[in-house]
Amino acid sequence: QVQLVQSGAEVKKPGASVKVSCKASGYTFTSYSMHWVRQAPGQGLEWMGLINLRDGATVFAQTLQGRVTVSRDTSTTTVYMELSSLISEDTAVYYCARRATGTGQSDFWGQGTLVTVSS
Amino acid sequence: DIQLTQSPSFLSASVGDRVTITCRASQGISSYLAWYQQEPEKAPKLLIYAASTLQSGVPSRFSGSGSGTEFTLTISSLQPEDFATYYCQQLKSYPLTFGGGTKVEIK
């Protein structure tokens, strides 16, 4: 069965960076892409970006361009999202979500990783 | 960017009620729309994709319709486990965007 297991909660100071991992299993890793989505406390969902797991190509939301990096390790079927220059507004739960083939909806989601940015 | 406006943002309903949620796009997105359900403290769950296709394993009381700029999610008979927040998402163009959400609470 498809599973996406994310790394644990993080607490970071403003200005620092955070790296969240998403371990995929139960399907052919490189046949899909992976979305990253975040949700600030009590707020809605915000799409962050996407990585093609076959060739590593990425596309990001303009609001995060330059601060977010997404990479993958095909040998361990793990995707990484790194966010730099953290500010308090980056406090959120971060989700990885598999992009389904066809119209590209997120058909499987990780459990989420809470990142807290606080001095 | 394509904006998605959901209405209502909050609704109170009873078990057994028929519930309809609307999602309007700021420009045409054909049928590139998905609906998700999110329970508190949980990851979203895919309900509908391509505007009207039911995701495998999702109960048939959920249905989606629409194309272009106006879409609806209907729950034909609300069940206790359906009390949650629902989001639409457009998949037509980057950046992908979500609606603001509709919280369905027990009357």
Judged by CB atoms closer than 8 Å, whether chains meet at B96 and A102 is answered as: no
Please state the rounded mean pLDDT for residues B91-97: 96
For the record, the structure tokens of A110 come out as: 């990780």
B87 touches chain A (CB under 8 A): yes
Contact residues on chain A for B43, CB-CB shorter than 8 A: 95, 97, 109-112
**pLDDT in the model for residue A65:** 83
pLDDT band at A82 (very low <50, low <70, confident <90, very high): very high
- Counting one residue from chain A and one from chain B, the pairs whose CB atoms sit within 8 A come to 61
Number of alpha carbons in the 13 Å side-chain half-sphere of residue A113: 28
Q: Count the residues in chain A.
A: 119
Q: Are A54 and A102 in contact (CB under 8 A)?
A: no
Q: Where are the beta strands (DSSP E) in B42-99?
A: 45-49, 53-54, 62-67, 70-75, 85-90, 97-98
CA distance B96 to B87: 13
Q: Which of B55, B97, B100 sits opposite A47 (nearest CB)?
A: B97
d(CA B98, CA B93): 12
Query: A39, A103, A109: which to substitute to probe chain B, counting the most B Cβ within 10 Å?
Result: A103
Integer Cα distance of A96 and B107 in angstroms: 34
**Whether residue A103 has pLDDT greater than 90:** no
Structure confidence by residue, pLDDT tens digits, B57-82: 999 999 999 999 999 999 999 999 99
One-letter identity of residue B94 = Y
Residue numbers in B near A112 (CB within 8 A): 43
Q: Which residues of A, range 1-30, sit inside 8 Å of B by Cβ?
A: none
Mutate to test the interface with A, among B47, B96, B97 (most CBs of A within 10 A): B96
Q: What share of chain B is helix, strand, coil (3-state, %, to 5)?
A: 5, 50, 50
| Strand blocks (E) in A40-85 | 45-52, 58-60, 68-73, 78-83
**Chain B residues within an 8 Å CB radius of A100:** 49
Q: How many CB atoms lie within 10 A of CB A104?
A: 19
Whether residues A47 and B50 touch (CB distance < 8 A) is answered with no
Beta bridge partners of residue B12, listed in sequence order: B105
Cβ–Cβ < 8 Å for B25, B4: yes
- pLDDT at position A102: 85
pLDDT averaged over chain B?
97
Instruction: Return d(Cα A94, Cα B65) in angstroms, integer.
Output: 30
Question: What's the CA gap between B64 and B74, in Å, rounded?
Answer: 6
